[in-house]
Amino acid sequence: DVKVTQSSRYLVKRTGEKVFLECVQDMDHENMFWYRQDPGLGLRLIYFSYDVKMKEKGDIPEGYSVSREKKERFSLILESASTNQTSMYLCASRLSDGYSNQPQHFGDGTRLSIL
């Protein structure tokens, strides 16, 4: 089974702090994704990475950056946290084998509160 592990289930930070959310997958997947989930808005794509050191902006990249130095790890960085970044953050990974039916596999999520 694919295992996607997010470093924290719950996190509380202060406004202005630099925040790191870590995600690790154990299945050698090329593609990795970061979403945020807010009530009534569904999941929105922040950034994704199609391979090591490769990244592409999603729908809502403002205020975020990402890092992918190793294939198994994809980090989301809040450069200067703000209260409107309080949300549930979900990481996902996907095998890139040329078959479009490969699903994304998700971690358990990180509930981040910015005070």
Partner 1 sequence: AQKITQTQPGMFVQEKEAVTLDCTYDTSDPSYGLFWYKQPSSGEMIFLIYQGSYDQQNATEGRYSLNFQKARKSANLVISASQLGDSAMYFCAMREVTNSGYALNFGKGTSLLVTP
Contact footprint for partner 1 (CB under 8 A) = 30-31, 33, 35, 40-45, 48, 50, 54, 56, 58, 88, 90, 92, 94, 96, 100-109, 111
Smallest distance from the beta carbon of 82 to partner 1, in angstroms? 23
| Comparison of 48 and 74: residue with beta carbon closer to partner 1 | 48
What distance in Å separates the CA atoms of residue 115 and residue 13, rounded to the nearest whole number?
Answer: 6
Nearer to partner 1, 50 or 73 (CB): 50
* Cβ proximity to partner 1, 14 vs 27, nearer residue: 27
- Taking alpha carbons only, the member of 69, 16, 17, 19 closest to residue 7 is 19
- Beta bridge mates, 21: 76
Find the Cα–Cα–Cα–Cα dihedral 103, 72, 79, 92, rounded to 10°. 10
Rounded Cα gap, residues 5 and 49, in angstroms: 17
Give the nearest distance from C-beta 42 to partner 1 in angstroms.
Answer: 4
